[in-house]
Amino acid sequence: MAVAPKARAASPRTSTSERPDIWFVAGVRTPFAKAGGALAKMDALDLSVPVVKAMLAKGGRPDLMNWGAVIPNLTISNLAREALVASGGDPTIPASSTIMACSTSMMGAFQAAGMLDGRGRELALVGGAEAMSRIQIGLSPELSDDLRRFMEARSGGQRWSALTRTKFSDIRLFIPQIKNRATGKSMGEHTEDMAKGWAVSREAQDELALASHQKAAAGWQAGFFDDLVLRMDEIGRDGIIRPDSSMEALGRLKPAFDHSGAGTLTAGNSSPLTDGAAAMWVASAEGLKRLPAEAPRARLVDYEVNAIDLFDEYLLMAPAYAIPRLLARNGLTYEDVALWELHEAFTAQVASHIKALQDPEFLKTKAKVTAKLGRFPMERLNPNGGSTAIGHPFGATGARILSQAVKELSALPKGAHAIVSICADGGQGTVALLRNG
C-alpha cells in the first residue's frame, strides 16, 4: 500500500528558542541632561567615548559593535567605528551603525543577537548616543552645489563663475526639526491627535508624568542607578528628574503643541530633548563567560519589530499592535509579565497604548489577536521611572531602557518575564520579551 507523503509544515517565524540562547546584559550610560544643559558642549562621539571605554574596561574585547545616533553629523559617517577607535578599542573589531529613530539601540541589540552565531561571534557591544545640543545646521542643496564647485575650481575664472551662478533664493539654511517628513507634523502634534482619539485626559497624562519623576527620584535615592550611570566631570547624575514635582505644578504648564485650547500635551508630560549615551551587552551563553559574574542579565525570549500605516493610524501606535501578538505567540497574558518597561516619549502615548491593549475591538480588528490577555497591571509599570523623567536621547534610549529592565528583572524570581517597548517615528516599534534565567 502506498504511503501518503508527509505534509510539509508551514515555516513559522523563527523564535529565539530555535537559536542559541541570547542574553541581554546591563551596561552603563552617561547621566542624561536636557539639551542646552550640562552636556551641551559634547557631540555624539564625545558622549559615546566614555561609555564605550567603561564597557571595554568591564567586559574586555567584544566580537562586534553596533552603535547609533539619529541626528546626523557631517563629519561622522559611522559613529560606531569612530567611537570604538577613539575609545582605544581593538581596531580589528567590526563596528556598524544603526538608525531607527527612538528604537535605534534596541534595534541594534536585535541585529547583534542575530549575528551571534557561535562561530567566533559570541559577544556584542551595543548602544547609541544623541547630542541634541549639537544639531548641525545645513545649507540648501543648491548653495551646497555652488560652494562645492567653488572649492573644486582650478582658476579664478571658474571660482567667479561658481559664485555668480548662486541665486539669492538659494541662500538658505536647513535647520533639522523633530517632525515626520512624510506628514509634516511633529511628534507632539501626532500625539495630540492620539490623545484626542483615545480620550486620554490631561490629568491622566500628568499623573503618569508625576509617577515617572517620583519613581526615578526614588530609584536614585535607593542607589538603583549607581552602577548604571557614569559619574562625569560635567554632571554626576540625571539632570531632568524633578523629585519636587506635583500635580499642581504640572497643571500650571501650558500646552506645548496644540494652542487651540484643546491641547493636553505639555513640557511636563512629554520627554524633553536630551543629551546622553548608553550601552549594553548582547551575549551568547559562551559570551557571558567574558563578562563579570555579577552583571545583571536576562534571556531574550522573543522580540517583535513592526510598523503601522502612518497615514491610517496614530504615528506612535506600533507597539500596541506588537505587544499582544508577542504575548499571544508565547502563551502569556498581561498578568504573566512581572515587569513592564514602556518608553515614555509622551505619557499620552503610554496611556493610549494601555487603553488599546485592553480594548477588545482593537485587539481583534487591528492587532488580530483573539487570545484573552486580561488586565494590564499598572502597578508593574516603569518601577524606576521612564523617559519623561530620565530623558530621551534618541539613539541611547534603547540601551538605557533595556539595561534598566534587565537590572530590575534580575532582582525578581527566576522565570519572571518582562516586556520592554519603544515606539519610533515613522509608525514603527520594537518590543522585547525577556526572562530572568
Mark whether 392 is an active-site residue.
yes
- Output the nine-digit C-alpha cell for 338: 512581572
C-alpha to C-alpha distance for 437 and 415, rounded to whole angstroms: 6
Contacts 24+ apart (CB under 8 A), 74-82: 74/136, 74/138, 76/44, 76/45, 79/44, 79/45, 79/48, 79/128, 79/129, 82/45
The question of whether 102 is a catalytic residue gets the answer: yes
Report residue 341 as a C-alpha cell. 518597561
Q: Residue 283 and residue 287: Cα distance in Å, rounded?
A: 5
Q: Tell me the three state secondary structure of residue 432.
A: strand
**Cα-based distances in Å from 435 to 280, 331, 343:** 17, 14, 19
- Using a 10 angstrom Cβ sphere, with 0-12 exposed, 13-18 middle and 19 or more buried, the burial of residue 11 is exposed
φ/ψ (deg, to 5) at 139: -105, 160
Residue 81, CB half-sphere, CA atoms under 13 Å: how many? Answer: 7
Beta bridge partner(s), residue 127: 67, 279
Would you say 413 and 331 are in contact if contact means Cβ atoms under 8 Å apart?
no
- 3-class DSSP state of 381: strand
Residue with cell 534610549: 397
Q: How far apart are CA 273 and CA 102, in angstroms?
A: 12
> Which residues of 164-223 form beta strands (DSSP E)?
173-174
Return the DSSP state at 307. E
Residue of 102, 190, 343, 353 with catalytic role: 102
Residue 12: how many CB atoms within 10 A of its CB? 8
Q: Which of 190, 353, 392, 417 is catalytic?
A: 392
Instruction: Tell me the one-letter amino acid at 78.
Output: N
Q: Residue 184 CB: number of other CB atoms within 10 A?
A: 9
Q: Which of 434, 422, 431, 430 is nearest to 386 (CA)?
A: 422
Taken as a whole, the chain contains a residue count of 437
CA neighbor of 67 nearest in space, from 56, 83, 91: 83
In this structure, the number of other CB atoms found within 10 A of the CB of residue 379 comes to: 7
Catalytic residue among 190, 353, 417, 423: 423
C-alpha cell at 302: 522573543
Nearest-5° angle of CA 332, CA 342, CA 347?
A: 130
Write out the catalytic residue numbers.
102, 392, 423
